[in-house]
Amino acid sequence: MRQKYLWTTICLGLSTITLTLLLTEVPAVSQEKSLYARLGGYDAIAAVTDDFLGKLIKDPQFSRFFSGFSTDSLRRIRQLIVDQLCAATGGPCFYTGRDMKAAHTGLAITEKDWEATANHLVATLNKFNVPEKEKNEVLAIISSLKRDIVER
C-alpha cells in the first residue's frame, strides 16, 4: 500500500511538472535572420551581382579591368563575386577565390575607381529596393575590403 501511494505521488508530481511546462508560455527567442536571408537568398544576390557587374563592364572608366576577358572568364568572376557575397552575408556558400589583396595587386585601382564602383553598387541596391538597413550592412562588408583593393 505504501509503495502504491509513493508511486502515485511520483506520477502526480511528474504529471504536474509536465503539464506546467506544456502550459507555460515560453518567450520566443528573438533571432534575427541573417543578412543573406534578409536580402532574399542566393537568387537575389546573384541578380544584384549580375546588374552590378554589368554596370562595371559597361562603364568606360573600368574598361582597362575587363578588356581581354573571355565570356567564360567573366562568368568565373561573376561566380566568385556571388560566392563571396553569399558567404560574407551569412549564406551557405564558400568563397574559393584569392584574397582581395592578391586578386587586385597590380591593377592600380584608385580612390576614384573605388568611389565609382561604390556608386554603381548603391545604384544596383536601390534598383532592387534593398532596404536601408540591409544596404548599409552590404556596404559595410564591401568597405571592409577597401584597404586590400585600392592601391593609390
Question: pLDDT per residue over 12-62, tens digit each?
Answer: 343 433 333 344 444 445 588 999 999 999 999 999 999 999 999 999 999
Q: Is the residue at 43 inside a domain? A: yes
For residue 46, the domain's CATH number is 1.10.490.10
Distance CA 38, CA 24 (A): 31
In a domain, 7, yes or no: no
- What residue numbers bound the domain in which 52 lies? 33-149
Residue 61 resides in a domain? yes
91-130 pLDDT tens trace? 999 999 999 999 999 999 999 999 999 999 999 999 999 9
Which residues have CB under 8 Å from 110's CB, separation 6+?
150, 151, 152
pLDDT at 32: 85
In a domain, 1, yes or no: no
